[in-house]
Amino acid sequence: MSKKVLFTATVLSHIGQFHMPTFRTLKRRRYEIHVAAKNNLNVKSGLELKYVDKYYDIPFERMPLSFSNIKAYFKLKKIINKNDYDILHCNTPTAGILTRIAARKKKIRAKVIYTAHGFHFFSKAPIKFWAFYYPIERMMARITDALITINEEDYKRAKQFKLKKNGELHHLKGLGIDIKNFPRQTQESKTSEREKYGIRKNDYVIFSVGELNKNKHQDLVIKAVNELKRDLVNIKLIIAGNGPMEEKYKRLIKNLNIEDKVIFTGYTRDISALMQASDVFVSSSKREGLPISVLEAMATGLPMVVTDCRGNRDLVKNGINGLLTDVYDYKEMVKAIKRVYYNKDLSIKFYDESKKILKEYNSKRIMREIGAIYKMLVK
């Protein structure tokens, strides 16, 4: 007899980015998989996700107090009441809050898992984030059977503030990466992939991936490219992703007169190919949970220049397997990119160290741990 799980997230792109390995694992354990998330990708069947048996388009909004979330709550509650789920596995703050509130009713037998992809009450977070999100997470702990954290800072915070209340606290090394999907870059693969995107052989390509939003902070790398163009005339920036800041960033690029230096790909699943075509990977985030894109860059062998924030620094050790820069200082990012550009041997050194780190983040190992959590909750 199959078991049934509902995965929730604020936006559908999150599901596609993070949860395919988990879905594959659960299918092998004969789970029926449902997904509820806002279709931010404008596709008819919810992303045509493999392994997903049913998809519900829910009008979640990232801002928890948005009026749209009232409608989302009642729609979600109806779905949960209608289906006899064994597990409700919620992700991202808004969907995580609304799912757990909807699960309060006594007649719902489902166990509740919340994967924290990065608490909003992080080190140096604005006071208003602490004032809003921390009390809510304290309350939600009472109706959470398993809390999964994916970086060291969140795990320590969850222990410190006892956010496991009536459930179990787990620390996973992210959600894993299947390294074979991101083979090490070779000169042949680099040349081949560049031809597909019209990138010249002598271009120096910076690659950045992530939703175009304030947290991912892509304006930092855009400003860095504007500075770099003076010395590196062959520089190119590829930005993969879509989001609310896209038009603002395009206006910034136009004002800086670097439209010929920047390529926007929009949302794409072709991340491996784009990494193969690139010279350096950059993350400009203000905060991360545990960034899969950094793991993918590590596996590909790209040198990494990333901001010194939670999540990034779990994976990148400054000067060891990449370079960390200040979250708000684009000139520091410029110096780091130049250091990589003028010192080709760094790429080899960084990759050798990244290979050692990647062993801890192997998807097979992580999926065994997730499977054990499910087995503990559903006998």
DSSP letter, residue 318:
B
Using one digit for the tens of pLDDT, what is the confidence trace for 124-135? 899 999 999 999
H helices present in the chain, as ranges:
12-18, 20-28, 68-82, 93-102, 127-140, 152-160, 187-197, 219-228, 246-255, 271-276, 292-300, 312-315, 330-342, 345-358, 363-377
The domains located in the chain, with CATH, are: 3-176+362-377 (3.40.50.2000), 179-360 (3.40.50.2000)
Asked if residue 120 lies in contact with residue 133, where contact means CB atoms within 8 angstroms, the answer is: yes
Asked if residue 240 lies in contact with residue 274, where contact means CB atoms within 8 angstroms, the answer is: yes
Using one digit for the tens of pLDDT, what is the confidence trace for 269-286? 899 999 999 999 999 999
239: number of CA atoms within 13 Å, CB side? 25
Using one digit for the tens of pLDDT, what is the confidence trace for 215-243? 999 999 999 999 999 999 999 999 999 88
Given a cut of 70, whether residue 149 has pLDDT beyond it is yes
pTM: 0.92
Looking up tokens 């590196």 gives 232
Residue 46 confidence (pLDDT): 45
138: number of CA atoms within 13 Å, CB side? 9
- Write the CB contacts of 275 (distance below 8 Å, at least 6 apart in sequence): 182, 185, 207, 281, 296, 297, 300, 302
Asked if residue 276 lies in contact with residue 190, where contact means CB atoms within 8 angstroms, the answer is: yes
Q: How many CB atoms lie within 10 A of CB 308?
A: 14
